[in-house]
Structures are given as structure tokens and as C-alpha cells.
Amino acid sequence: MQINPLKFGSVEIALPVVLAPMAGYTDSAMRTLCLEQGAGAVYSELASAEGIRRDSGKTFQVLETAPGEQPIAGHIFGRDPQAMADAAKQVEQTGLFDWVDLNCGCPVKKVVSRGAGAALLKDLPHLGKIIEAVKNAVSLPVSVKTRIGFNQSTPNHLEIAKVVEESGADMVAVHARLAKNFHGGEADWGKLAEMKQSLKIPIIGNGGIDRPEDIARMFAATGVDGVMIGRAAIGNPWIFHDWQGRLEAGDTVVVLERREMMAEHLRRLVKLNELKQKQLKISYRYSPEEAACIQFRTHIPYYVRGMFDKKQLLMKLAQLTNVDAIMEEVDVLVAKNR
């Protein structure tokens, strides 16, 4: 399938199949793995504009990137237009990011209760003010990550598209579900197609991608300029090359390859935690290795899905905070599945 590069502002994504920002998952360790497996671009995890403006060390850690980790967007959230503009300036001044992305779709209660994220879909004039403020504050391109609506009684997808474009955004990424539904129910790709028809700026489609073949289906069904993959990439960075037919027909990622990817992911998490603990000179409850092993527990069910006795493995790993011990348990299951 022929896919054209996605261009907006100074950004060009050669192969516009990108990794979605996911809090608690898409840190630099996961992002670099996905880029190496063919992801066209990545986003930082969700960073608070107020935290950035207050120069919070922990917030800035969310914006840490690895050398060569590009193209990448600095992904921020907030409600106050001036705070968002100030934060965007600081994101730009790091020199780490290719564009600034505004979160206007996160449905998580602690974000929505602040009037940020998906809550902005209930007040489109205010959303427009935020986009305008950020656009006027930075020279980097500005994009918006949003949803097709908050619920059935709030502004619809075409109203959202109009405000995003008229307020000056260079690109929009849209999750094809209402915010109230989180990740439940069918993604409404028909609304993505309608938004594509109404917009002059590029649109990336998100939602309903469960397997590699869904990527080509979304391009064909909606006409979007790019596809964003979220949960389907957790424990499965290979999805970014599988859909392009780089694997032979009928081939799957073998057990040993999964094992090696898990080991590499763990190594990168350890390095990431070492860096974080050096930057913030405070006492930590866990060593970098222990913290990495704890963080990796959320990834393990996805890596072993359909291949190992997941319940048995997770029960054992819940007690382990040593990389070698974790990989020894994985190796026992690998030996049984070869």
C-alpha cells in the first residue's frame, strides 16, 4: 500500500504510522524500541503545563528524550491559555522536540476534573483560545490530540475540527471514540472520514487498531493522512513493521525474539531510571534496577500474550525486582514454548 509522507509546518514524517502518547507506558525506553521497529514518530508522555511552568523537576523528566529520538512531539496538557503558552515555550527551548502537541482528549478523571484534556471539548471557544495562545508563543508547529467528542450532548466531531483548524493548529490527531467511552466500544472511523473531508490540515486517525492489518484498513476506509497506534503497541513494537509486509506471509514474532525484546526493554528502563535519579538528587525508595522492574510489570502481560502462561508468570514476577531474576523466569517459559 502506497502511503505518502505526512507534512505539516517544518515536520515531515516519512511513514506516518506513529506511536500514541500513553501515560505510564510511552517513556523513552518504549519509544526508542518502537522507532527502531518502524514507528514514523512518537510523542512524549503527558506533561502538565503548570508543572513545566513551575519548573518541576519531575515534570521535566517526562520530557526527557534519548539521542536521535525523532521525530517527536512534546505533549502537554492544561486549561489556562497563558500557562499552556508558557509551557510550550519551554518545551521549544529544550531543543528536543520537532513540534508541540496539545492534549484535548484525555478522559482520565484527574485531568478532566481540572478542566483540561477532554473537558475542553465541552468548551470549544476556550479550546480555541488555548490553541491560539500556544501558536502565537512558539515557532514550532502545533498539533492537537483530541476525540470525536466528549459525549453525545456536547459539540460534535465536525465542530471540533472547525475550531481546531480555525484556531491555527497545523495538524490534528483524533481518537475515534467519545471521551466518556474511554477505550470501550467500536471506534467510529466514519467520523474520521468526515473530519478528513472537512479539514485542510492533516489528520491522524486513532482508535480501533488491534492488529497490523487494521492499519491499512484505516487508511483505506477514512483517507486519513496518518495512523496512530496506542495499546496495540504495548508489548508489541513489531506492529510498526508487520503491517508493511516485512515479515513473510504467515510468519509471526518468534518466542526468542520476544524474549530478547523484553530483556532490551528492561535494560533501557534501568538506564532511564539511573538518569532520572542522577538528575533529581533526592532519596529514592527503589534503586534504578528495582524501579525499572516494577515499571516493567505493566508491560509484561502484553509481551507474553497468547504465548506463555501469563497468570503463572505474573504471580512470580510480582515479587521480583532484579533483572536477571525476571529473565530467568522468562527463560523457563521460553524453553517450554520452543
Q: Which residues contact 31 (CB under 8 A, 6 or more apart)?
A: 19, 39, 42, 65, 66, 69, 72
pLDDT for position 210: 95
106 is catalytic: yes
- Bridge partner list, 238: none
**At 74, phi and psi to the nearest 5?**
-85, 115
CA distance 228 to 42: 9
For domain 6-242, give the CATH number.
Answer: 3.20.20.70
Q: Which is the catalytic residue, given 34, 104, 106, 293?
A: 106
Query: Which residue ranges in the chain fall short of pLDDT 50?
Result: 247-251
pLDDT for position 251: 44
For residue 91, which of 132, 43, 29, 130 has the smallest C-alpha distance? 43
Residue boundaries of the structural domains of the chain: 6-242, 255-337
For the stretch 173-229, pLDDT in tens is 999 999 999 999 999 999 999 999 999 999 999 999 999 999 999 999 999 999 999
pLDDT for position 62: 85
pLDDT for position 284: 82
CA distance 191 to 287: 47
pLDDT for position 280: 76
Half-sphere exposure at residue 174, Cβ-oriented, CA atoms within 13 angstroms: 36
